[in-house]
């Protein structure tokens, strides 16, 4: 039967092929490339964290891991947008999220696990794990509760007063929340800037100025074009892989239709044969054999190949619905 991973790959390729590319002059803070570029300004990045965490941070640094996590244009993969460490060795991963793919909880869990794997050397004690923050800045409300800020730490379900204290913290920002008044002026200004680009304090003014500088910078333009070209090359490579996969899928489906046709002929020749016996011969589930019987009865004019093709098509449709 068809590998569900192939279906997932095809869906991701389809997203790549329909992706809209922008000129660097058109990028804003919600674009991954621009967000990463702006956050490469140390003071702007540090102040963003201070606003979100509502505490002062003495200093931050971009770790060695950051070098391996290149800025990408419109990338929604496992790469981290911004990764920094503060003077207390707490680590922060900040992500821009513009598409509600309904997978934010699992994505945050995956990112946190990836951070732990990278900060802990092989053989090191778990006690060496650093306090980590995974921060998602969304342009939608992922929980629909109208909050600007959702903070998560692991607690005991039976007694919420007991904290697990595993130092794994997840924060999700929603600038469209209705409770901004309970936060400070800096937080409110940041929410307005994210929401509609409004400049209302010195920090949001600095963010706007940095965005303009990135757009006018020849160095950033070169980086952007390199990433654009690399992305296009990856899409072309994806096309080639897709064509090869398509051929293999065609062979696989043809083989499957042939095998199912054998079972259909067996049922037509001997109506008394048990589903279990045919299923054992074909190496499939008895439910498939029952579907064969139903199609044979419902469409006596169909030939063996037509019935087998109908079964395969129905299975592919079921696989697609699961995704």
For the stretch 140-152, pLDDT in tens is 999 999 999 999 9
Q: Which of 293, 276, 284, 278 is nearest to 256 (CA)?
A: 284
CA distances (Å), origin 159, targets 65, 155, 156, 189: 37, 8, 5, 37
pLDDT digit string (tens) for 125-145? 778 888 999 999 999 999 999
Mean model confidence pLDDT for the chain? 81
The domain ranges of the chain are 31-216, 238-322
pLDDT for 56 beyond 90: yes
> Is 305's pLDDT higher than 90?
no
**How much is the average pLDDT of 79-86?**
80
Q: Give CA–CA dist 273/265, Å, rounded.
A: 11
- The pLDDT tens digits for 93-120 are 999 998 887 888 888 888 888 788 777 7
291-319 average pLDDT score: 82
| pLDDT bracket for residue 318 (50, 70, 90) | low
Report the pLDDT averaged over residues 37-46.
94
What per-residue confidence (pLDDT) applies to 76? Answer: 38
Of 30, 61, 73, the closest CA to residue 193 belongs to 30
Task: Write the pLDDT tens digit of every residue in 219-261.
Answer: 888 888 877 766 666 556 556 656 665 666 666 777 778 888 8
The answer to whether 170 and 206 are in contact (CB under 8 A) is no
Residues whose CB falls within 8 Å of the CB of residue 265, separated by 6 or more in sequence, listed in order = 304
CB 280 within 8 Å of CB 299 = no
Outline where the chain has alpha helix (H): 4-17, 32-39, 42-53, 64-68, 104-119, 185-196, 202-216, 218-269, 275-282, 286-298, 304-322
Return the half-sphere exposure (C-beta side, CA atoms, 13 A cut-off) of residue 9: 16
Taking 60 as the threshold, does the pLDDT of residue 315 lie above it? yes
Burial status of residue 217 (CB atoms within 10 A of its CB: 0-12, 13-18, 19 or more)? middle
Q: How confident is the model at residue 66 (pLDDT cuts 50, 70, 90)?
A: very low
Among 19-33, 60-74, 112-126, which is the least confidently predicted range?
Answer: 60-74
């Amino acid at each position: 039967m068809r590998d569900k991973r192939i279906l997932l790959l095809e869906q991701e390729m389809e997203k790549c092929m329909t992706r809209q590319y922008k000129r660097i002059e058109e990028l804003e803070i919600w674009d991954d490339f621009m967000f990463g570029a702006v956050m490469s300004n140390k003071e702007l990045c540090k102040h963003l964290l201070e606003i979100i965490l509502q505490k002062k941070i003495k200093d931050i640094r971009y770790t060695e891991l950051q070098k391996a996590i290149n800025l990408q244009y419109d990338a929604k993969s496992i790469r981290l947008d911004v990764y920094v460490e503060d003077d207390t060795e707490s680590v922060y991963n900040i992500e821009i999220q513009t598409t509600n793919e309904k997978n934010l909880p699992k994505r945050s869990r995956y990112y946190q696990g990836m951070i732990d794997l990278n900060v802990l050397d092989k053989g090191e004690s778990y006690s060496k794990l650093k306090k980590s923050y995974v921060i998602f800045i969304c342009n939608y409300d992922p929980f629909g509760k109208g909050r600007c800020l959702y903070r998560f730490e692991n607690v005991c379900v039976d007694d919420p007063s007991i904290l697990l204290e595993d130092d794994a913290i997840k924060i999700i920002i929603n600038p469209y929340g209705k409770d901004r008044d309970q936060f400070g002026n800096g937080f409110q200004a940041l929410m307005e800037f994210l929401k509609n680009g409004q400049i209302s304090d010195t920090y949001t003014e600095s963010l706007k100025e940095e965005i303009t500088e990135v757009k006018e910078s020849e160095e950033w333009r070169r980086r952007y074009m390199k990433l654009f070209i690399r992305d296009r090359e990856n899409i072309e490579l994806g096309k080639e892989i897709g064509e090869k996969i398509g051929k293999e899928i065609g062979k696989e489906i043809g083989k499957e239709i042939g095998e199912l046709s054998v079972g259909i002929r067996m049922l037509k020749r001997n109506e008394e044969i048990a589903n279990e016996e045919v299923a054992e011969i074909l190496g499939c589930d008895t439910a498939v054999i029952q579907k064969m019987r139903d199609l044979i009865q419902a469409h006596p004019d169909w030939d063996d190949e037509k019935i087998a093709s109908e079964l395969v098509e129905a299975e592919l449709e079921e696989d697609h619905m699961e995704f």
